[in-house]
Structure 1
Amino acid sequence: MVSPGVRFLLQTVLPVLARPLLFGIALHHGSRFLDYALPLWATAVVASASLPTLGALSIWRKQRQHAREAAALGARLAPQPQGRWLGNLDLLRRLMWNSRYGYPTETITNWMAELGPVVNVRMFWTDAIVTSDPEHIKRVLSTDFSNYEKGPRFQNIMRSVLGTGVFNSDGDMWKFHRTITRPFFAKDRISHFEELDRNAELVITTLKSRSRGGYAVDFQDLIARFTMDSATEMLFGTCVNSLKAPVPYAHNANVFGSERPPTSDENAFIEAFSQAMEQVARREQRGLLAPLAEMWEDTTAKSMKVVSAFLDPIIAAAVERKKVADAMGGEKREAQTLLDELLNSTSDHTILKDETLNILLAGRDTTMHTLTMVMYFLCIHPAVNERLRAEVLDHVGPSRQPTYEDIKDMKYLRAVINEALRLYPPVPFNVRSSVNATTWPSPDPNEKPIYIPAGTSIPYSVLIMQRRKDLWGPDADDFDPDRFLDARVKKYLLSNAFQFLPFNAGPRICLGQQFAYNEMSFMLIRLLQSFSGFTLDEEACPPAARVPPEWKGAPGRKGIERFRPKMHLTMSTQGGLWIRVAEATD
């Protein structure tokens, strides 16, 4: 198999070099018709010198074309932050530094504060028009949906892990994947809580055990196990049982040795899938030149080999069971797993594997992050925790398993989850690619519309949008669940529903949105039935992962946060979220 780096050279670099090469050949042979034939070395020098000249000419022509097209449409080009280095390499360096060491989205947010909510972050003469404007995002996701696709660059980054699944496809392939997946997330399926309760009990048991021993617990790690076990059971009918493996101790815990999960196919699968997703996140961060970092091999290949070794037998067995059941006839049974549901539409191994992995990504990381953020806010806002617990006890009591109807009636619980999703959406950035040239309305009514060239990368930031004070009020940086219950709902949110998009919107809206709300609500109810309070243990967090002292007093949430957010494809908490719990006595 050709590596990403070699493929990049063949598809990108060789065509660029072809023009000066052809020019050199023509010059060398053409000079023979003159009185003086150019020597080969001189031809090579002239041909080499033509490369930057032709490149600069191509860039100039493209920019001039965009300016003419914008003028013809009565529009303007998107404002650009100006770099000092060739190709805006210094801007790329700043973004990379912020991604690794800074507060998520800070660099983009600063550019938008200066230039407006839409900016063209132009790197190596390639446009990336970033927006945090709800009207623009509405067009991309809904009203002009057909003009925006995932695009080849995003798909190339993800293909080695997600294949052509629902999150990594466009057109008919995307419609097919969405159609075969949708029935599984019907109402009668998402209200089944027995599987969740088994895993929730393991979470609670671990929290109690560590608490009684006087130890802090990494809630992010624990809840990641909960979401992974719940997701694999729902998708494949095979639980990886990560909650039954030992959980880590804090770096400062007085324990001998370290508990590591025992080696097993299930644990190997979890680790391999995580490593593969980390690699594709690095590809996204490296930008256009990312393939050059994988010159000799695809860095996801080894991990995906382990993933396949775990999944392939499960899928093959499910296909065989379906064949036997169809041959025997009889009454058709309701699909108990997503894999069973997909088998009603196809037995293609690749399609089954791609789609289940796509849904696994959505079902694990996003729910894990949101539950971690809710726990963080409950730790630092004890009044919110007390009020939420009172609602839980009032509706469900101290021990009864909650029902779908219980969850639907608990308005404050939904508000707490929504406020965590507003401040820290699991996917802070998403991206599309424009198919045809178009215009967007200007955020400033006194300015011309903004021109969007065809084939342009369109990143949009839900995180930046959901913290804008002009959209959410002067207290937009504050954690206040009541904003989803009081008059602010009508004043801010109902005026434009597209300014709150933790689950996306339009035809690509998250199929599992209601399932995610139910899973998160169920877990939180069970936690609040068992524990009366939660506190952060910041000393348990590894020193290198703690909030830098220079963040204190900075504008926005950066200056008050007590954990360090990390952003790749999805958000997480650097070093984990270490907490202590107080067991309930009522």
Structure 2
Amino acid sequence: MDNFTCSLALSSAIVALVYVTSKFLTWIWIRPKKLEIFLRQQGFHGNSYKLFHGDSADIKGATREAMSKPINFSNDIFPRASPVYHKAVQKYGEKCFVWFGPRPAVVISDPELFREIMSKNYVFQKPHSLPVKRLIARGLVSLEADKWSKHRKLINPAFHVDKLKHLVPSFYLSCGEMLSKWDEIMGNEGCGEVDVWPHLHTMTSDVISRTAFGSSYEEGRKISHLQSEQAMCSVGADRSVNIPGYRFLPTKVNMKVKQNRKEIESLVLGIINKRMKATESGEDHHDLLGLLLQSNSKEMKQGNEFGMSINEVIEECKIFYFAGHETTATLLVWTMILLSNHDDWQGRARDEVLQAFGRGKPDYKQLNNLKIVTMILHEVLRLYPPAAMLSRCIQKEITVGEKVRLPAGVELMFPVIMLHQDPRIWGDDAKEFKPERFGDGVSKAGAREEQAAYFPFGWGPRICIGQNFAMLEAKMAIAMILQRYSFRLSPSYSHAPRVVITLQPEHGARLILTKLER
């Protein structure tokens, strides 16, 4: 190699090194400091940026402290469920930000700004989730722009109100199996202590197996278990700095997540293949998978670009499994916990159920006419929303509201619990369980109707597609439980709400169940 070639190679190496160093310094220091200056000029406050780590030490400390012990029974759960944002708001006020490594997250607690941002889904998109979280599922909830619109169009028919009424028998069957297990636990005594959380979790997973895939819980149990493991793996990732390339390292968590993903996809693909063969042989299925495949096939036959690949169908099925049962399970467990602490509302709900259909099988129309049960479910969703925090990101500098300017590169965090329990909107009793707020419907629930802040299923075009499914299933389950049991908190119950993707009771839900005379 001559001197010229050596010099050229050395110069190229130096240029490449300078470029990489420049990009690294911009990512790790220059850009975060520019964002910090911009945010402070807009009146936002937070800790000064710390090289690479940001607020990671404070985040870990706040989380460790909050999770160290249960709390007294109270609906003031924001400090424990979202300790990082609670401490930031306490220290710096509502216009604050938190550092996740070199990335600042701005807290948005104004419901009007929330509605504006959520309504512009093409402008304010979901943040790119961490690689570990993307392995849970990459379906509708993680897609953006035209890709999201395509999938939403294909999936919508499966969640149409007219289709949901056909799922009521599956709700009834799954809930009936759970109650039969409780009967066995009660035995001849007719009374006993049960941790209802795992039973509700199993029941809602069973519902998804039947309504989404037409299979029994036994066939879907493995998928449900693996998806729950994936969720637990993602919790630690949420609280750590996202190091580029870290997902490729053979760590215990990374290997577990990848192994689970392969197994889940293999199981789901098996179900899909069996269904497609059955459809080809003339069988007609009205479950969610069948409706999705029908919708997709129709688009493909018309030559449209909206058809989904088999891998995309798999991802949507994974979302069915995770979101479909986690959301309803958490709604049901907090409903039972709160009704255990409010005998008056439990009695009123039971009276309504028995008056509507006695000890018989509830039907679709009767379930939708349960006003008191519906009020209770909405109040539970207000106090204990399944998604305690929603987020969006900004691709370019933009002004929201009348004068709030936000720079590209920041993440927007919406503390749903904080919005749902804001006394300025809901009144001085905002943290109290008062279902009568929803006596005249959701739109008139707040103390100040013009600033209603009720977002348990999100808002705008991306509002949860399965909200009607979840509410109908919850009504069926609560109605059937009230028909057969009264329940109260066990002395061993520990009140410890925590976020594992959804808002869950960390130590379960130990209740005293008493079988009612038939």
Q: Could you tell me how far apart the structure 2 residues matched to 1:281 and 1:584 are?
A: 40
Percent identical pairs in the alignment equals 20
User: Rg larger in 1 or in 2?
Assistant: 1
* Alignment CA distance shift 1:401-1:410 (3 Å): same
Deviation at 1:61, TM superposition (A): 6.3
* Alignment CA distance shift 1:171-1:178 (3 Å): same
Instruction: Report SS of the residue matched to 1:523.
Output: helix
* Alignment CA distance shift 1:135-1:178 (3 Å): same
Deviation at 1:109, TM superposition (A): 2.0
- For 1:180, which of 146, 154, 160 is the aligned residue? 154
Deviation at 1:432, TM superposition (A): 1.5
Instruction: Report SS of the residue matched to 1:566.
Output: strand
1:55 and 2:25 aligned = yes
Q: Could you tell me how far apart the structure 2 residues matched to 1:235 and 1:57 are?
A: 43
The equivalent residue for 1:80 is: 46
Instruction: Verify the 8 A CA contact 2:399 2:406 in the aligned structure 1.
Output: yes
Instruction: Report SS of the residue matched to 1:281.
Output: helix
The equivalent residue for 2:418 is: 464
Q: Could you tell me how far apart the structure 1 residues matched to 2:470 and 2:27 are?
A: 51
Instruction: Report SS of the residue matched to 2:391.
Output: strand
Q: Could you tell me how far apart the structure 2 residues matched to 1:217 and 1:65 are?
A: 51
Instruction: Verify the 8 A CA contact 1:422 1:463 in the aligned structure 2.
Output: yes
* Alignment CA distance shift 1:291-1:493 (3 Å): farther
* Alignment CA distance shift 1:57-1:480 (3 Å): closer
Q: Could you tell me how far apart the structure 1 residues matched to 2:205 and 2:380 are?
A: 21
Q: Which has the higher contact order (CA 8 A, sep 6+)?
A: 2
Q: Could you tell me how far apart the structure 2 residues matched to 1:91 and 1:63 are?
A: 19
Counterpart residue type for residue 444 of structure 2: V
Instruction: Report SS of the residue matched to 2:517.
Output: coil
Instruction: Verify the 8 A CA contact 1:157 1:284 in the aligned structure 2.
Output: no
Instruction: Report SS of the residue matched to 2:387.
Output: coil
Instruction: Report SS of the residue matched to 1:492.
Output: coil
* Alignment CA distance shift 1:291-1:462 (3 Å): farther
Q: Could you tell me how far apart the structure 2 residues matched to 1:65 and 1:201 are?
A: 55
Deviation at 1:523, TM superposition (A): 0.8
Deviation at 1:90, TM superposition (A): 3.2
1:417 and 2:377 aligned = yes
* Alignment CA distance shift 1:27-1:362 (3 Å): closer
Q: Could you tell me how far apart the structure 2 residues matched to 1:348 and 1:292 are?
A: 29
Instruction: Report SS of the residue matched to 1:376.
Output: helix
Counterpart residue type for residue 447 of structure 2: Y
Instruction: Verify the 8 A CA contact 2:60 2:239 in the aligned structure 1.
Output: no
Deviation at 1:172, TM superposition (A): 1.9
The CA deviation string for residues 169-216 of structure 1, in whole angstroms up to 9 with x for no partner, is 112221121111100111222123111111111121122221235642
Deviation at 1:530, TM superposition (A): 1.0
The equivalent residue for 1:492 is: 447
Instruction: Report SS of the residue matched to 1:146.
Output: coil
Instruction: Report SS of the residue matched to 1:269.
Output: helix
The answer to which of 288-297 and 303-312 deviates more is 288-297
Instruction: Report SS of the residue matched to 2:390.
Output: strand
TM-score by length of 1: 0.74
Instruction: Verify the 8 A CA contact 1:369 1:571 in the aligned structure 2.
Output: yes
Q: Could you tell me how far apart the structure 1 residues matched to 2:345 and 2:481 are?
A: 14
The answer to which of 401-410 and 420-429 deviates more is 401-410
- For 1:357, which of 310, 315, 318 is the aligned residue? 318
TM-score by length of 2: 0.84
1:208 and 2:178 aligned = no
Q: Could you tell me how far apart the structure 2 residues matched to 1:415 and 1:459 are?
A: 28
1:429 and 2:379 aligned = no
The equivalent residue for 1:133 is: 110
Q: Could you tell me how far apart the structure 1 residues matched to 2:472 and 2:422 are?
A: 28
* Alignment CA distance shift 1:93-1:225 (3 Å): closer
Q: Could you tell me how far apart the structure 1 residues matched to 2:23 and 2:323 are?
A: 46
Q: Could you tell me how far apart the structure 2 residues matched to 1:354 and 1:54 are?
A: 34
1:166 and 2:133 aligned = no
Deviation at 1:376, TM superposition (A): 0.1
Instruction: Report SS of the residue matched to 1:127.
Output: strand
Q: Could you tell me how far apart the structure 2 residues matched to 1:405 and 1:52 are?
A: 64
For 1:30-109, what aligned pairs fall within 5 Å after superposition? 55=25, 59-60=29-30, 63-64=33-34, 67=37, 76-82=42-48, 87-98=54-65, 100-101=67-68, 103-109=80-86
Q: Could you tell me how far apart the structure 1 residues matched to 2:344 and 2:61 are?
A: 39
Q: Could you tell me how far apart the structure 1 residues matched to 2:99 and 2:445 are?
A: 38
Q: Could you tell me how far apart the structure 2 residues matched to 1:503 and 1:54 are?
A: 38
Counterpart residue type for residue 439 of structure 1: T
Q: Could you tell me how far apart the structure 2 residues matched to 1:83 and 1:434 are?
A: 19
Counterpart residue type for residue 235 of structure 1: A
Q: Could you tell me how far apart the structure 2 residues matched to 1:166 and 1:27 are?
A: 44
The equivalent residue for 1:124 is: 101
The CA deviation string for residues 497-516 of structure 1, in whole angstroms up to 9 with x for no partner, is 4x101011111111111111
The equivalent residue for 2:279 is: 322
Instruction: Report SS of the residue matched to 1:137.
Output: helix
Q: Could you tell me how far apart the structure 1 residues matched to 2:122 and 2:68 are?
A: 37
The CA deviation string for residues 432-456 of structure 1, in whole angstroms up to 9 with x for no partner, is 21122112347xxxxxx33211132
